Structure formats: C-alpha cells, structure tokens
Amino acid sequence: MILEEVDNRLAQYGYMMPYDLGAKGSCMIGGNVATSAGGIRLLRYGSLHAHLMGLTAVLPTENGTVVQLGSSLRKDNTSLHVPHLFLGSEGQLGVITRVVMSAVPRPTSVQSAMIGAESFESCCDILRLARTQLSEILSSFEFLDSETMDTLDKALGLKPVLQSNPRFTILVETSGSNAAHDTAKMEQFLNQCVGRGLATDGVQAQSAKESAAMWRLRESCPLAVAKCGFVFKNDVSLPLGSFYKLSEVVRARCSSLAQRIVTYGHLGDGNSHLNITTHKYSEELYQRLYPFLYEWVVDHGGSISAEHGIGQLKLPYASLGKSSTERDLVRRIKVVFDPNGIMNPYKSF
C-alpha cells in the first residue's frame, strides 16, 4: 500500500495517517516502518513508535517463516514489544508484509505562518514560545536559512514570502479542529513573537494558496540544492544549542572549496539537513568534510543519521559514539532474526 492511497481511504472516515512525507505518492507503508519515517508532522503526532501496534513479517529462515507480532490493541503487555524493533531496522530483520497502526482524526483546520528572525537564538526562543502558545495544535516547525532562500531564488526562481529578507525563515503549521480557535492562537503567537523582539516579521497565510506558497519554499529545498551541481547531503540530529553551530563550523572549514552551505530542516525535531554544494565532486572537499562532520556531530550529542539510516555510505562511521556493548547487543539481536546474515547485507551493522 502506498502512503497516499491509505491516507485517501482514511479521509472518507474523517481520519488521517499520523505522518506525512514528501514521497507520499510513491513510498510504501512497509518501507515507512522499516525506515522509521519521520516527516513534517512529528511535532504534533509523534514518531511511528507512537502509532505502531503490530506487524507481520517474513523472516529469513529456510522456509520463510511468517510471524505476526504485537496486536491491534493500544494496550497489550503480554509479551516483549517486538514490533518496535522493526522501526528503523532497514530490512535487517525481515520483510514487513502487514502493519497495524493507529490513525488520527483528520484536522479540519490547518493554519500556516512564516516568521523571520535575525539570530538563531531567536529561532529557538520562537520554538519554545510555539510549544507553549500553540501547544496542542503545533504540527510543524520548519527552518530555512538565508542561503537556502537565496538558492531557492537562484535555482528555481522561487521568491521569499517575507519582505524583510531575514537571516532565518521559520515555517509554522498548526493542525486542529476549530479554525476560529486556531487562527486566534496563531495570531496571538505571532504578535508575541514580534512584541518580544524575537521576530522581525510574521505573516499568517490567509488562504490555501498562500499556505501552499509557503510550503512550496520548504518542499523545494532538495530540488534547489540538487540544481547547484554536486551536493554533499547530510541528515543529522543535534541538540538545539549546536544545531546551527555545525553550519557555521562547516562554513569556516570549507572556505572557498564549497559553493554554498545550505541549511534547512525540521528545527522542531532538532533535525538539520545540511547541504554543501560544489560545481562538481571534489575529493579535497570530501576529505575536509568527513569524518570531521560526523565526529563533530557525535561530540556534540547528535546523531549522524536522523532519518535516513546508515546504509553503505555511512557504514565506516556507524560505530561513532556507540559502545562495543551496544553494537554487540544489536548484532546478536539481528542474528535472532537472521542467523545467516542474508538480509540487506554489507549495510548498517
């Protein structure tokens, strides 16, 4: 089943899948579970761990054992919660053939706003304010720096929504059940952002068209950087205090070797997509970036792969920050499911 198709079916009953991805038109539920897909609404609905209840998998035994794990119940403490091991397992344990997860009521009111800020500290303060003021309806808190906005303009001709040309642009979305309440909360929140001197500018979308224009900027980021030539892509998680420091450290380290240092991502989840672009692949730049960047991330309490797994590229660095005890435990769990090591070999662990 493709995510968007499931979501369309749920819409008929007033429900919705609890996550949403740019790839929803092609990605499949089994893959979403295997990669523990995050997406743009994690702030509101939580990760897939919050929704997964059970699954069926085919194990790589001689005769392809089919095992049903968990149940279709919200509460079931009759066994180890094994289905959760499959979240983020990236095909290492078995092939997922059936998933039971909870759906959420489809929001009848979705509001968007864009906010400009001149310092990264202000962005963090705005996030804290959103967590308390928008609280139960806050669904997205996305971040784009000025280099991202410039790339969107140069590469795709997409102009900014905010006129103030701020150093940082934030896209906030709420999902709720009452448009009057939600717009009132958003208005109060934006007023406080400006009133407290955190934001230079704040614009609430007045129509679906205005909202779409805001999201087009955020969703076009991967395409815009791809147009620059070669891209060293990164998908890291960091504590907020180090989130943008990484971009500054990398900028200083690359100096003239890089064309652009473009940072956007899900600030609300601490997830930075840091892209270093060049006209074409440069071995010198690669050597300057890695493993430096991964080591810096781990030294600052972050993860070298927030959403996109380890795979082959990051395999040499997969053990960064992990103890031998943890790695050994994980390998032995894998053996329980896949004693011959035939599932997605030469990757992950």
> Which positions from 237 through 266 interact with its own copies, judged by CB under 8 A?
237-239, 266
Work out which of 1, 11, 76, 165 binds its own copies, going by CB under 8 A: 76
Residues of this chain, 169-208, that bind its own copies according to CB under 8 A: 175-178, 181, 184-185
Work out which of 55, 85, 198, 217 binds its own copies, going by CB under 8 A: 85
Toward its own copies, which CB reaches closer, 229 or 239?
A: 239
Q: For residue 168, what is the enclosing H or E element?
A: strand 168-176
Q: Nearest distance from residue 14's CB to its own copies, in Å?
A: 6
Q: Specify the stretch interacting with its own copies by CB under 8 A; choose among 88-96, 160-168, 219-227, 244-252.
A: 88-96
Residues of this chain, 30-59, that bind its own copies according to CB under 8 A: 35-36, 38, 42, 46-47, 49-52, 59
Does 280 interact with its own copies (rule: CB under 8 A)? no
Work out which of 25, 299, 336, 340 binds its own copies, going by CB under 8 A: 336
Residues of this chain, 128-157, that bind its own copies according to CB under 8 A: 131-137
CA distance 276 to 264: 12
Toward its own copies, which CB reaches closer, 53 or 171?
A: 53
Toward its own copies, which CB reaches closer, 207 or 324?
A: 324
Toward its own copies, which CB reaches closer, 207 or 323?
A: 323
Q: Specify the stretch interacting with its own copies by CB under 8 A; choose among 61-69, 221-229, 244-252, 278-286.
A: 61-69
CA distance 158 to 148: 11
Q: Nearest distance from residue 163's CB to its own copies, in Å?
A: 30
Toward its own copies, which CB reaches closer, 102 or 204?
A: 102
CA distance 51 to 46: 8
Taking CB atoms within 8 Å and a gap of at least 24, the contacts of 65-69 are 66/97, 67/94, 68/98
Does 306 interact with its own copies (rule: CB under 8 A)? yes
3-state secondary structure of 105: strand
CA distance 138 to 135: 6
Work out which of 1, 11, 73, 212 binds its own copies, going by CB under 8 A: 73
- Read off the DSSP letter of residue 2: B
CA distance 148 to 244: 13
Contact 236, 112 (CB under 8 A): no
CA distance 54 to 83: 6
Toward its own copies, which CB reaches closer, 190 or 304?
A: 304
Mark out the alpha helices in 134-178 (DSSP H runs): 146-156
Pairing of strands 168-176, 109-117: antiparallel
User: How many Cβ atoms sit within 10 Å of the Cβ of residue 293?
Assistant: 21
